[in-house]
Amino acid sequence: MKRTTISLPDEVALLAEREARRRGVSLSEVARDALAEHLGIRAGAPRRLPFARLGRSDHTDTSARVDELLAAQWTHDIERHRDR
């Protein structure tokens, strides 16, 4: 798990702290839950890819090959970032 620091407006911080006390959990857990909800991430559920329909390509079978095409692109991106 990655640790990060964020700045919140006073009102948001107060409401988040109240929610943590109400639920009997840490402020970090409230923040993780809120971000996961906002990003549409559910434990054990497949991730939605809302961007998969964006853009144009020369492929006429993109919907049938979406997993293959994304895997190839992500592999390329991962390798490119390793070189930095």
Containing H/E element for 14?
helix 10-23
Give me the domain span that covers residue 72: 53-84
pLDDT at 13 over 90: yes
Same domain membership, residue 43 and residue 7? yes
The rounded distance, in Å, linking the Cα atoms of 75 and 48 is 19
> What's at 33, amino acid-wise?
D
Q: Give the pair of three-digit tokens for residue 35.
A: 């971000």
Q: Which DSSP symbol is given to 47?
A: P
pLDDT at 10 over 70: yes
pLDDT band of residue 16 (cuts 50, 70, 90) is very high
The rounded distance, in Å, linking the Cα atoms of 34 and 72 is 31
- Overall number of domains in the chain: 2
Same domain membership, residue 61 and residue 28? no
Match 């923040």 to its residue by tokens.
31
Residue range 28-81, pLDDT digits in tens = 999 999 998 888 787 666 666 656 555 666 767 777 887 887 787 777 777 776
CA quadruple 48, 67, 55, 51: dihedral, nearest 10: 10
pLDDT at 26 over 90: yes
> What's the confidence (pLDDT) of residue 51?
60
The rounded distance, in Å, linking the Cα atoms of 15 and 9 is 10
